[in-house]
Amino acid sequence: MVRHARRRAAAYDPHVSHQPDAADAVAPATSAPDLEWVPDALLGPAFETAALGDATLVRTVDRPARPRAAVLHVHGYNDYFFQDHLADAVVEAGHVFYALDLRRAGRSLRPGDVPHFTTDLRELGEDLDAAAAVLRAVEPDLPLVVHAHSTGGLTSSMWAHARRDDPGLGPDLLVLNSPFLNLHAAGLVRVVNAGVVEVLGRTRPMAVLSTSPSMYATYQLRANGGRWDFDTSLKRPEGVPARAGWLRAVVRAQVRLARGLEVPCPVLVATSASSGPDSPDNPRLDEQDTILDVELIDARAHRLGEHVDRLVVEGGVHDLVLSADGPRRAYLDGVLDWVAANLPAAPVP
């Protein structure tokens, strides 16, 4: 069930600067480059990839005869695009499908890179700028729908906010799959507080503040009895360390979001119905979000903009696309129905 949320005014916090900040800065958008598409080495001939600066675009070879929208998927932390069933569902619903492997992640990981590391989420916003420019050029008459997961959801929200005054540069619709909107939602405050993150992020950005295996990723892998095949060098069951510079970038974005963003397009925030421990002792490991606290996501969702809807999926896992058959179908149906209901009206010929 999709429910609607109206934005409430952000409470004043004397400890947070209310001066214009970097999160609101709008850098020049990237023009669309000429891309060289080749068969995807990971998913095979049904997909093709193209280098996009430091990032990588992926797209399906098959496409609808008369597409209704262009969907761009953005992955999360310790993640990359491998969910071919998501692409299949999007194409079957009448949309073209693209995915973006951000710099230092997935197909974009280069020798010597620290996986997923950045000290400013606006750097990843440059990858979104580049991808959006390509889709606007290649699919000029189609609305742009961004579907973003976890940390990718936070990054995409900040990017959409930064592009709010530039019609045609940001998304027309934004779908957030278990977005990382609140540091407390990940339980990291048990390890380190925001003040420590701010200091270490500036002075020792490569310092490891948290590291642990991901039972969630371990359980999902088909080789361990799960449902999915993925490259364990790109989505690691042993986890990817959270470094001070990256965590500082996340916290700064979350603090800005807590003050209230102005994402101008309709937003759908989707989560599981409940959260639980990321532990092999959790009997509901395959039925809950074991990475983030869904109640804290819900509490922060209305800060995104004026038009925010919620989709709650009973039995869903952190990446709702990787849930068991029933919850996964409920998620995909809910998202695609919401997209169909919120697409901008087609221009009159």
Has residue 146 been placed in a domain?
yes
Has residue 8 been placed in a domain?
no
Between 192 and 84, the more confident residue is 84
The predicted-structure confidence for 262-275, as pLDDT tens digits, reads as follows 999 999 999 999 99
Place of tokens 């949320």: 5
Q: What is the dihedral of CA 24, 30, 31, 34, to 10 degrees?
A: -150
Mean pLDDT of 94-109: 98
Question: Binning pLDDT at 50, 70 and 90, where does residue 19 land?
Answer: very low
Can you give the residue range of the structural domain that contains 130?
27-342
What per-residue confidence (pLDDT) applies to 7?
A: 40
| Lowest mean per-residue pLDDT among 26-35, 148-157, 335-344 | 26-35
Mean pLDDT of 51-72: 97
Amino acid at 331: Y
Q: What is the DSSP string of 117-185?
A: --S-HHHHHHHHHHHHHHHHHHSTTS-EEEEEETHHHHHHHHHHHHTTTSTTTS-SEEEEES----GGG
Question: Binning pLDDT at 50, 70 and 90, where does residue 8 land?
Answer: very low
What per-residue confidence (pLDDT) applies to 213?
A: 85
Between 128 and 187, the more confident residue is 128
Question: Binning pLDDT at 50, 70 and 90, where does residue 296 land?
Answer: very high
| pLDDT above 90 as % of the chain | 80
pLDDT tops 70 at residue 32: no
Report the C-alpha gap between 120 and 207 in whole angstroms: 16
What per-residue confidence (pLDDT) applies to 75?
A: 98
Has residue 11 been placed in a domain?
no
Number of domains in the chain: 1
We report the CATH number of the domain holding residue 276 as 3.40.50.1820
| Lowest mean per-residue pLDDT among 42-56, 91-105, 147-161, 333-347 | 333-347
At 40, give phi and psi (nearest 5°): -75, 125
What per-residue confidence (pLDDT) applies to 12?
A: 25
The predicted-structure confidence for 269-293, as pLDDT tens digits, reads as follows 999 999 999 988 999 999 999 999 9
Question: Binning pLDDT at 50, 70 and 90, where does residue 10 land?
Answer: very low
Mean pLDDT of 41-62: 98
How many of the other CB atoms lie within 10 Å of CB of 199? Answer: 12
The predicted-structure confidence for 171-188, as pLDDT tens digits, reads as follows 999 999 999 998 865 655
What per-residue confidence (pLDDT) applies to 346?
A: 66
Q: Judge contact between 229 and 181, C-beta under 8 A.
A: no
Token output for 31: 């023009």
What per-residue confidence (pLDDT) applies to 194?
A: 72
Question: Binning pLDDT at 50, 70 and 90, where does residue 345 land?
Answer: confident
Question: Binning pLDDT at 50, 70 and 90, where does residue 16 land?
Answer: very low
Has residue 10 been placed in a domain?
no
What per-residue confidence (pLDDT) applies to 26?
A: 47
What per-residue confidence (pLDDT) applies to 210?
A: 84
